[in-house]
């Protein structure tokens, strides 16, 4: 599908999160700072969303996203209702959105298409959080960047190398890293690169922040001097019919000890999970001391708490 060009300064502002750019760079930094406060003091925010209710809509199966959002809402003193399955199969999306707006204070949606996120935002009039679509995964990228800050104590001047499929996670990492001064190199097989319009946006942000965006088909070139090496599954949900072909094409992009050794000596390994061990990454790498995959998973909870506080307080 064609990707609409999103202006750097979204007119929607911080009242919703359809994609990464609904938060400005300054607002993203503020979100990371709030995440730190939330993580340090759970009790301080334990009644912040008292009396607030959130709709959770899941078209795709979920462990981390569902659990962390449910826990985030409840640990902040709010509550949620959950629907699993197609969002608008029985009635128009605009009707679903307006019903939910009458009952709850925000919508968190994990969907197959970005169009669903946009429609919910357009018709509901309440905050909508993109918990994953085909184009973006902003909550994951924000948690990843927070994890980098925890590990290295800084963001500007770091290099993140993403190896694998140029998918929604790659898109969000490109947009958010480039705005915060983090170099981002993406290595994919030919034909599986990130969307060119999103890469162009990231390059514009990188020029302004003094960082570098690179796309390549060479995984070893991408990971050279990287502080973090990141990968994701080769075939996402909905791409099962492509799995065998992707397995063949992506084999040279497996993150194994050899590829990780080609990065910086103090580099870390990142993955948004679930991981297909033995495919995009070896068990040895996931279980190594350089792996921060469970730090990332934990930080989904904290960054999503901060995001809900930002949108609902």
Indicate which residue of 18, 66, 110, 171 is catalytic.
110
* CB neighbour burial string for 228-254, b if at least 16 within 10 angstroms, e if fewer: bbbbbbbbbeeeeeeeeebeebbeebb
Q: Are the folds of 13-137+298-312 and 138-292 the same?
A: yes
User: Residue 19 catalytic?
Assistant: no
Indicate which residue of 75, 114, 140, 201 is catalytic.
140
Mean pLDDT by 10 residues, the chain (313 residues): 43 75 96 97 96 97 96 98 96 98 98 97 97 98 98 98 98 98 98 98 98 98 98 85 92 98 95 97 98 98 98 91
DSSP letter (8 states) at residue 43: G
User: Residue 83 catalytic?
Assistant: no
User: Residue 201 catalytic?
Assistant: no
Q: What is the pLDDT of residues 44-54, one digit of tens each?
A: 999 999 999 99
User: Domain 138-292 class?
Assistant: alpha beta
User: Residue 184 catalytic?
Assistant: no
Structural domain boundaries of the chain?
A: 13-137+298-312, 138-292
Whether 73 and 49 have beta carbons less than 8 Å apart is answered as: yes
Q: What is the pLDDT of residue 11?
A: 41
Domain over 13-137+298-312 is classified CATH 3.40.50.1370: yes
Q: What is the pLDDT of residues 299-311, one digit of tens each?
A: 999 999 999 999 9
Structure token digits, residue 157: 């001047």
């Amino acid at each position: 599908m064609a990707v609409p060009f999103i202006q750097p300064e979204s007119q929607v502002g911080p009242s919703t999160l359809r994609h990464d750019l609904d938060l400005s760079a300054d607002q993203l930094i503020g979100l990371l700072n709030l995440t730190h406060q939330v993580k340090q003091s759970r009790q301080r925010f334990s009644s912040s969303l008292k009396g607030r209710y959130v709709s959770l809509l899941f078209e795709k199966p979920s462990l981390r996203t569902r659990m962390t959002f449910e826990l985030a809402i409840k640990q902040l003193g709010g509550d949620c209702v959950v629907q699993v399955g197609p969002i608008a199969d029985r009635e128009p999306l605009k009707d679903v959105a307006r019903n939910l707006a009458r009952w709850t204070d925000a919508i968190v949606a994990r969907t197959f298409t970005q169009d669903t996120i946009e429609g919910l935002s357009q018709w509901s009039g309440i905050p909508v959080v993109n918990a994953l679509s085909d184009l973006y995964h902003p909550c994951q990228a924000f948690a990843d960047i927070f994890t980098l800050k925890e590990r290295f104590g800084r963001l500007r001047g770091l290099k993140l190398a993403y190896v694998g499929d140029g998918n929604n996670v790659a898109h969000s990492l490109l947009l958010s890293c480039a705005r915060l001064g983090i170099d981002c190199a993406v290595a994919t097989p030919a034909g599986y690169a990130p969307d060119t319009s999103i890469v162009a946006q990231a390059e514009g942000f990188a020029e302004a922040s003094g960082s570098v965006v690179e796309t390549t088909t060479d995984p070893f070139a991408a990971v050279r001097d990287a502080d973090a090496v990141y990968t994701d599954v080769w075939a996402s949900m909905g791409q099962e019919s492509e799995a065998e072909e992707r397995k063949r094409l992506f084999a040279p992009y497996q993150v194994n000890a050899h590829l990780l050794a080609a990065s910086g000596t103090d580099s870390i390994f990142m993955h948004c999970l679930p991981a297909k061990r033995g495919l995009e990454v070896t068990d040895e790498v996931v279980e190594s001391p350089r792996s921060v995959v469970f730090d990332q998973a934990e930080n989904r909870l904290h960054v999503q708490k901060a995001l809900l506080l930002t949108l609902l307080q």
